[in-house]
């Protein structure tokens, strides 16, 4: 059985990993002032966004998640011809309509795929499995990495689905935002009250940054740190501790909302890299998606991993 993967653009993984494993990306349209971007994790498009310096709080932006029709087109024109089973992994349904759109699209895909496959001489059924990763940004990445491993091991679709559901339930995504005013402005625009004005003003005045977590469909602050550099060090130190404690998927995913060359230079990153090297854990580095930067501001740092439930103490 030929199996494939599809993710939405907000899942932060390195481009070479996506290309190497033939992972399809469901794009997100982003409009900032008079500029339009196709957020499909193309490094050139991310570089164009950064080069135009559109990430400041003075710019308004609109994002349009991959629609039901777009998903149907991607599958019926391409993926049903290349695969017999495709797993679609999306950002948590509590933060985006992408999951619901893909589920709706799956009904039409499963209804019409034979009309596409049979003229091409492809017999047999086509399976489409949609999974909510229950996290966001790098927090969605462990599910994708584990899916690749399971497919390469020729596991059955049923076994893969069961394992990915378990990983999704135990995936953690953490973010350290740089600009609280920007984060609050975007949250307010989307009707999200998780970052209040008082907190933003107080945080910016005293240089206090929240550490935000995406876990089991919920996103909330789980700690506060004073100063940007101290925040990076705290986050990476915590990530190194989790690596040494043991991960469910041997990968630690990191992302940065800016020039990726700056990520390894951040305080604490070297110690995280050392811990990963000592424990045989792959340390991935990826640029944050354009969608991510539009919604949380440039300069944000994120980490993602899968681990057994544990207490968090920042």
Number of C-beta neighbours around residue 105 at 10 A: 25
Among 273, 240, 252, 218, smallest CA distance to 145 is for 252
- Check whether 58 has a pLDDT greater than 50: no
pLDDT tens readout for residues 170-187? 999 999 999 877 777 776
Output the average pLDDT for the chain.
91
C-alpha to C-alpha distance for 20 and 295, rounded to whole angstroms: 28
Q: Give the pLDDT of residue 198.
A: 46
Residue 183's pLDDT is: 76
Which distant-in-sequence residues (6+ apart) come within 8 Å of 155 by Cβ?
163
Residue recorded with tokens 């710019």: 59
As a whole number of angstroms, the distance between CA 197 and CA 144 comes to 36
- 176-198 burial, b at 16+ Cβ within 10 Å, e below that, comes to bbbbbebbbbbbeeeeeeebeee
State the angle between helix axes of 269-279 and 228-245 in degrees (0 to 180), rounded to the nearest 10: 10
- Tens-place pLDDT, residues 118-146: 999 999 999 999 999 999 999 999 999 99
User: What Å distances lie between residue 185 and 111, 182, 288, CA to CA?
Assistant: 42, 5, 19
Q: What is the mean pLDDT of residues 43-51?
A: 92
Q: Where are any strands of DSSP class E within the chain?
A: 3-8, 24-26, 28-32, 35-39, 61-64, 85-90, 127-132, 171-176, 208-215, 218-226, 251-256, 282-287, 301-306
Task: Give me the pLDDT at residue 185, please.
Answer: 74
Position 303 scores a pLDDT of: 98
């Amino acid at each position: 059985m030929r199996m494939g993967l599809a993710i939405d653009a907000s899942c932060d993984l390195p481009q070479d990993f996506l290309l190497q494993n033939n992972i399809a990306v469901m794009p997100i349209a982003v409009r900032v002032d008079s500029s339009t971007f196709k957020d499909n994790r193309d490094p050139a498009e991310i570089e164009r966004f950064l080069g135009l310096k559109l990430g400041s709080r003075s710019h308004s932006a609109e994002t349009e998640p991959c629609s039901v029709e777009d998903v149907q087109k991607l599958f019926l024109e391409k993926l049903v011809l290349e695969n017999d089973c495709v797993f679609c992994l999306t950002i948590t349904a509590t933060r985006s309509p992408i999951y619901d759109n893909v589920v709706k699209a799956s009904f039409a895909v499963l209804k019409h795929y034979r009309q596409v496959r049979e003229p091409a001489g492809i017999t047999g059924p086509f399976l489409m499995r949609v999974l909510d990763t229950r996290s966001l940004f790098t927090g969605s990445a462990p599910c994708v990495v584990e899916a690749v491993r399971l497919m390469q091991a020729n596991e059955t679709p049923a076994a893969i689905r069961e394992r990915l559901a378990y990983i999704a339930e135990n995936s953690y995504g953490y973010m350290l935002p740089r600009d609280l005013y920007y984060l609050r402005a975007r949250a307010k625009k989307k009707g999200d009250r998780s970052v209040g004005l008082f907190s933003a003003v107080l945080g910016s005045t005293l240089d206090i940054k929240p550490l935000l977590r995406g876990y089991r469909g919920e996103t909330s602050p789980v700690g506060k740190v004073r100063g940007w550099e101290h925040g990076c060090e705290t986050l990476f130190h915590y990530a190194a501790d989790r690596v040494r404690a043991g991960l469910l998927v041997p990968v630690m995913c990191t992302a940065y909302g800016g020039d990726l060359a700056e990520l390894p230079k951040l305080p604490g990153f070297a110690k995280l890299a050392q811990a990963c090297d000592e424990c045989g854990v792959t340390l991935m580095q990826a640029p944050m998606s354009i969608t991510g930067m539009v919604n949380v501001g440039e300069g944000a740092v994120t980490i993602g991993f899968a681990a057994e439930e544990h207490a968090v103490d920042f």
